[in-house]
Every structure is written in C-alpha cells, then in structure tokens.
Structure 1
Amino acid sequence: MGNKNTSDSIEAYIKALLSQAGIAEIKRSELADVFKVVPSQINYVIKTRFTESRGYIVESKRGGGGYIRIGKVQFSDQHQMLKELRDSIGEHISQTIFWDLLQMLYEQKLLTQREIELLFVTATDEVLGMEADRIRSSIVQKIIQQVDRKGL
C-alpha cells in the first residue's frame, strides 16, 4: 500500500529477526541508531505494529541493560488460533483493532490483501455510523466463523 517508509523498514527488520529466532530482543537506542531515528520512533512502530491483536507479545525492561522482547504467538493449529481469536473478541471493536485482526488473518494466509482492504473500507466508522464498534464485532465474528468452517 504505497512506498516503504521508515516505520515499514523498522517493522520489516523486526519481523526478519522474528523469522530467524522466533523472538526478537532489541535495544531501542541501538535500533534507533541503525535507522537514524529517535527512539520514540521505535516505540511508535512497536506500539502500533506489534500489538496483541496482531498476534504479538511485547515485553520490555527499562534501564541501563534494558531491552524490548517481541514474540509471535504460536498456536497448535489454525482451528485453535481461530477459536482463541473468536473467544477474545468483545462486543465492541474499534477500527484499529478491526484492522489489526484483518492483518493477522492475512498473515495467516486466511484472507487476501484485497479482501482485507475491501472489508476494512466497508467497516469504517463513517460507513457503519453510531453502532460501528458493535457491528464490526459481529462482522469479525462471522468472518472468523466462515474462515474456520471452510478451512481456507
């Protein structure tokens, strides 16, 4: 979706670390030096792109020997992942969480990029109106149910 910016590059770098070791342990200041950004840019990427709703666990330790450890949640199988995802969904879902959940389904190869983009634009606050968060929750529940049933 457009040109790769610094945040995209940082995300790709962290994901490459995850694919090599399963867990990425980074020092915020060192990573900021690598990308020639301020440490808060690293925080921004981690807080927006490595969220629980995208299937990541983030642990941080502050101080001199501090680090940020990022891990991808591993499920025993796709059915289990979808069940846990469905069980974790509340009655209301914000646009941001909805997008994160769609991205997670894309990363699991359960939806295509085009499908998540179409789903997202049809489930914005602007389109859904006052009950948007509640309707989005229903939509994502039905998507997960359908994907799980079809075994796609």
Structure 2
Amino acid sequence: MASQNVTDIIERYLKALLDAEEEVEIRRAQVAQRFDCVPSQINYVIKTRFTPERGYVVESKRGGGGYIRIVKVKMRTDCDLVTWMIEQLPSQIGVQDARLMIQKLYDEGIVEQQAGNMMLNVLSHQTLNVADADTEGRLRARLLLSFLRSLQYERTH
C-alpha cells in the first residue's frame, strides 16, 4: 500500500466534513493536533486545496476565539458561475489557478474541450513569454477576465 501524504489526508478529512455540511468551521490547532502536524500544515492545505477556483470560499478569524470557515460554493446557473469567477478573479493569477478555473468551466459544461484548450494555450507561460512573473500574472488575469466576460455575455441571450 502506498504511503499517504498528510496533506492529502487532511484534504480528504475536510472534504468529508463538507460532504455532510455545506459550511464547516474548524480550529486550526485542533485539526493539527488530530493529524499530529504543525498548524501551518493546515494553512497550507486550506490555501492550496480550498480555493475559489476549486469551488470554496474560506473565511478566518484570528485570536483566541479564532476559526477557519470553509464554505462549499454552489452555483445555480452557468451565468452565476461565470459572474462569480469574474468577481473572485485576482489582479494576477498563476498558470495552475487559471487551469483550475478553465477546468471548472469545462466540468460545468460552460466551455467545450476545444475552447478550453485554446484558453489554456493562450494563458500558458510559453505563449505569454514575459520575463517578469508579476507582469505575466497580471496579463494572464486580464486575458482570463476577457474570456470570462465573453462567456457571460454569450449566456445572457
């Protein structure tokens, strides 16, 4: 049996909680203690595996009564998903996060495979070919925003 990565185990645990409830509230230290890891490991899992691009919204409150709330986002219609993505799109975005967003659009039937692949090609590091990572991330975000807006308008007719 292959050894399991603690990050994957924590992700599965949190997703199991979210299967039972659309929203969960956890205390970072308690989850870290449960999995015998450092609290920063919990932060890493939440930051990388529970992102808006993957359909989650995370809220947190620091301090003694602090918590981390993870909400599984449900979309009612295609247009709602596109609108939500537009609202959540950061001013710069990496290739992997852009890929996850496009995959979500494909999974929801908003874009077909060919259109998704074209979007991925346009947003790739090779195509953008910008030496500065920040500039590339901003350019990728602007292009993705343009794609999303065109999808939004196509869906409203």
Unpaired stretches in structure 1, ≥5 consecutive residues: none
How far apart, CA to CA, are the structure 2 residues paired with 1:118 and 1:5?
34
User: Bigger radius of gyration, 1 or 2?
Assistant: 2
What is the CA-CA distance between 1:12 and the residue it aligns to?
A: 1.7
How far apart, CA to CA, are the structure 1 residues paired with 2:87 and 2:12?
29
Counterpart residue number, 1:75: 75
How far apart, CA to CA, are the structure 1 residues paired with 2:121 and 2:31?
34
Contact in 2 for aligned 1:50/1:56 (Cα 8 Å): yes
Pairwise mapping of residues 3-152 of structure 1 onto structure 2 (< 5 A)? Answer: 5-86=5-86, 88-89=88-89, 92-102=92-102, 104-105=104-105, 108=108, 123-130=123-130, 132-133=136-137, 134-135=139-140, 137-138=142-143, 141-142=146-147, 145=150
How far apart, CA to CA, are the structure 2 residues paired with 1:111 and 1:37?
40
Mark the CA change 1:69 to 1:143 in structure 2 (over 3 Å): closer, same or farther.
closer
Contact in 1 for aligned 2:83/2:152 (Cα 8 Å): no
How far apart, CA to CA, are the structure 2 residues paired with 1:129 and 1:83?
29
How far apart, CA to CA, are the structure 2 residues paired with 1:58 and 1:43?
11
Contact in 1 for aligned 2:32/2:39 (Cα 8 Å): yes
Q: Which amino acid aligns with 2:16?
A: A
Unpaired stretches in structure 2, ≥5 consecutive residues: none
Greater CA drift, 137-146 or 66-75 = 137-146
SS of residue paired to 2:129: helix
State the aligned residue count. 147
Determine what percentage of the aligned residue pairs are the same residue: 35
When normalised by structure 2's length, the TM-score is 0.66
Mark the CA change 1:116 to 1:12 in structure 2 (over 3 Å): closer, same or farther.
farther
Mark the CA change 1:69 to 1:84 in structure 2 (over 3 Å): closer, same or farther.
closer
Mark the CA change 1:25 to 1:124 in structure 2 (over 3 Å): closer, same or farther.
same
How far apart, CA to CA, are the structure 2 residues paired with 1:141 and 1:73?
23
Q: Which amino acid aligns with 1:65?
A: G
SS of residue paired to 1:79: helix
Greater CA drift, 87-96 or 8-17 = 87-96
RMSD: 3.8
